[in-house]
Amino acid sequence: MALYAAYFDDWEVKPQFERAYVSLWPGWLGPADAHELDQVTQLDWGKFNKWLKLVANNHEMHAVNCKLKSTSIVADIEEVLCSYQASMSKTSSDFDKFILPSLNCVITEEWDYTYIIWHKNDGAIEELMPSIASAELFKFTD
């Protein structure tokens, strides 16, 4: 409960964290590019699992359960990741949420093939950038 309470207020990441976005694209898609969401393949989607595996190889990850207001150490990232097919039927309450205590950040799965890194400008983004690039994903901010 203590780890959960340090990062979350109910179902939301605490407001003192800044956001950086990790996506298949280098920025937000506009109306002219929205069709790209419908063209995401299983291979494209797999880049997120590749990224999360790289993160788990280098940092202790805790899976977040907002309903129980708890966390649990991710011993094997393969047990947490879901298939492309399963991911297509997720609701927002099923989206992955991870705390990386060593980086003082949270990673949350969001809509439209985007993850958010919630951080405090204390080196988490710089530490995660090599894994983002290796997974062939993009990081951007508002």
Q: What is the DSSP string of the chain?
A: -HHHHHHEETTEE-TTSEEEEEESSSS---TTTGGGGGG--HHHHHHHHHHHHHHHHHS--EEEETTTTEEEE-S-HHHH---HHHHTT--GGGS-EEEEGGGTEEEEEETTTEEEEEE-SSSHHHHHHHHHHHTT-EEE--
- Whether this prediction's pTM lies above 0.75 is answered by yes
- The predicted pLDDT at position 64 comes to 97
> Tens digit of pLDDT for each residue in 35-71?
999 999 999 999 999 999 999 999 999 999 999 999 9
72-107: per-residue pLDDT in tens? 999 999 999 988 888 888 888 889 999 999 999 999
Question: Is 80 exceeded by the pLDDT of residue 1?
Answer: no
